[in-house]
Amino acid sequence: MTWVSVVQLGSGADRGANLEAIEKSLRTAAGAGSAFAFLPEASIYRGPYDPAYVEADDGPALRRIAGLARELRLAVVLGGAWTPSGDAAHAYNSCLVFDRSGRIAARYRKVHLFRLDRTDEPADDEAAFTAPGDDTAVVRAGDITLGLSICYDLRFPALYRNLAAAGATVLSVPANFSAYTGPAHWEALLRARAIENLCYVLAPAQIGTDSTGFSAYGHSLVVDPWGTVVARADDAPAVLTVDLDPEAVRVRRNELRSLQHDRPDVYAHPARIEELDG
C-alpha cells in the first residue's frame, strides 16, 4: 500500500507566498504519513510569463522544494514549473519528480499546449510563451508506476494509453484547469482516463483567479482504477490523503482485459470512407 497526498493550492504571482503554502502542504502530507505529495501545475508561480522565473534544476525555488523533500523524506511530484528550453521567450512547462533525498529523478515536459478561443474573452494561448515537449515518461517507484502528464494533456487519450503501455498504474494529472471548461469536462475526462486504462488518477488542481484573469476550477480529484471517485476537494486549499492499493489495479485488469484488446495496429490506418447514395 502506498499513501499519497494530492494538494490543492491557490498560487499567485507572489513566489514567496506560494513557496510558504507549498511548504505547509508538504509538512501536512508528511505528517499524514504519505510517501508522495502531488502538487498542481503552476505551483511556484501563477501569473504572466516572466523569463526571470524560468529555473534550471539548481534554481532557488526548485532547491527549496528539493530541501523539503529531503528533510521530510517525501517524494514530491511538482506538477508544472517553467524550465529552460534554450529560448528565453519560451520555457518548457515541466513536471519534476523529486525523490525523497531531494534529487530530481524524473521529468516530463508538457506536450500539448492549451489554447482556448472564447468569443467573449481574450484567447488563452500557452504556446505564446511555452515550448512543447516531445516525449513521454513513467516513473517506477516501488509498488506503483507513475505516468506523467500535465493539465490540457488530459484531452489526449493516446498519451495515457502510451503511459499505460509502459506500465503506468497511477496517472498524474496536475492542473490549472479553467473554470470555464472545468464544470463540464474535468471530472468526466479524469474518470474516463482511469476507466479506460484501469489506473488510479491523481489530479491536484489550482483554485482562484490569477493576475492575468485566468480562473481555475479547483475540484482536485482522486479516482480509483474502476473510475470511482475516492477523494475530492471543492474550491478551497486542501490536502487529500489516500492509500493506493497496487493490487486493485491488478484485480481490475484481470476482470476486464480492455488493455489487452487494444488494436493500435488497426487504428494506425485511416478509416475507409464509404458513401451511402440515395
Question: Would you tell me which residues interact with ligand KGT (CB under 6 A)?
Answer: 41-42, 46, 80, 93, 114, 124, 126, 151-152, 155, 176-178, 181, 185, 214
In angstroms, the CA 122 to CA 269 distance is: 38
In angstroms, how far is CA 45 from the centroid of its own chain? 16
Active site residue 110: yes
The residue (of 83 and 145) whose beta carbon lies closer to ligand KGT is 83
Q: How far is the CB of 125 from ligand KGT (least distance, A)?
A: 8
C-beta of 145 vs 178, nearer to ligand KGT: 178
Helix H or strand E segment including 63 = helix 60-72
8 A C-beta contact, residue 231 and residue 6: yes
Residue with cell 486493485: 248
Q: Tell me if residue 55 is catalytic.
A: no
As a whole number of angstroms, the distance between CA 247 and CA 237 comes to 30
Residue 214: how many CA atoms within 13 Å on its side-chain side?
Answer: 28
Beta bridge partners of 72: none
Determine which one of 95, 110, 126, 199 is catalytic.
110
Q: Which of 55, 95, 126, 151 is catalytic?
A: 151
| Nearest distance, CB of residue 84 and ligand KGT, angstroms | 15
DSSP strand pairing (207-209 vs 200-203): unpaired
Annotated active-site residue in 41, 55, 95, 126:
41
Q: How far is the CB of 175 from ligand KGT (least distance, A)?
A: 6
157-165 vs 182-197: helix axis angle to the nearest 10?
30
Q: Report which of 197, 185, 196 is spatially closest to residue 221, judged by C-alpha positions.
A: 185
* Closest separation in Å from C-beta 216 to ligand KGT: 8
What nine digits make up the cell of 249?
489495479
Task: State the Cα–Cα distance between residues 104 and 81, nearest whole angstrom.
Answer: 13
Q: Which residue has the cell 528565453?
A: 88
- Which residue, 11 or 241, is less far from ligand KGT as judged by CB? 11
**Whether 71 is catalytic:** no
Minimum Å gap between C-beta 226 and ligand KGT is 24
Q: Are 163 and 138 in contact (CB under 8 A)?
A: yes
Closer residue to ligand KGT (CB): 73 or 155: 155
What's the closest the beta carbon of residue 93 comes to ligand KGT, in angstroms? Answer: 5
75-87 vs 36-41, strand pairing mode:
parallel
- The catalytic residue positions are 41, 110, 151
